[in-house]
Each structure stands twice: as C-alpha cells, then as structure tokens.
Structure 1
Amino acid sequence: MAKNSGSGYRKGAVTERTQFQTPNGNWAKRDADTGRIMDQKTSGGKFKGVRTEK
C-alpha cells in the first residue's frame, strides 16, 4: 500500500491505477479495473507513484 511520507515523496507504488497525458497537457489518473478516469491534475507534473501508460 502506498503512503505519503510527509517529505515530498511516496513510499510504495500505487496499484490498480495508471496515468496518461491528456491533449491539453494535464495528467489524468485512470482506474485499471474499470477504465474510468478518476482524477485530473491541473497544477502540472505527474502523479507520484502511479504507473504511466504507453
């Protein structure tokens, strides 16, 4: 299970989720089981500890 360390990084990997970059440049997180988009990051950069889709 992934946990935030409080020091700017995450301990462990986030499982059952992937991330991809949307056409507008934001990163979105997708549930690996259902394929639904869970969250979109607007502050720039990737989600920490989430596998990137090819």
Structure 2
Amino acid sequence: MAKNKPIGDNARVGAVKDRSQVFNPTNQVWTKRDSDSGRFMDQKAAGEPFKGVRKEKPSN
C-alpha cells in the first residue's frame, strides 16, 4: 500500500482523485473541474496551476 510519508512535509504523492484542471486563455487563469460531473469548481487568482491536480490537454 502506498504511503504519503513523511507526514507533515506538505507534499502529496500522486494526483488528487476525480479532479482535473484546464487553462483558460481568455482570462489567463487555471480552472479546476470535477471529473465526474464535468462542472467547473474553482479558479486560481494567480497564474500558477493547482498543486497535485492533473492537467487536461487543450482541445484545438
């Protein structure tokens, strides 16, 4: 079984489950999405992506 040790170092091993993020080029922010329902959940105020959340490939 995988463990996220050492405890308390504020680091995640592996991605957050049932979440993804996509970059919105219109307003230059990252948006978090629920993978089950497809609904957008949250946006970052800064330009950096969410930590530990998988990135979606842009559709062209």
Is the structural similarity TM-score above 0.5? Answer: yes
1:5 positional shift:
3.5
Runs of at least 4 residues of structure 1 off by over 3 A?
none
Q: TM-score, normalised by structure 2?
A: 0.70
Residue of structure 2 equivalent to 1:11: 12
User: Unmatched 5+ residue regions in structure 2?
Assistant: none
Percentage identity across paired residues of the two chains: 49
Q: TM-score, normalised by structure 1?
A: 0.77
User: Unmatched 5+ residue regions in structure 1?
Assistant: none
Alignment length (residue pairs): 49
More strand by share: 1
Larger gyration radius, structure 1 or structure 2: 2
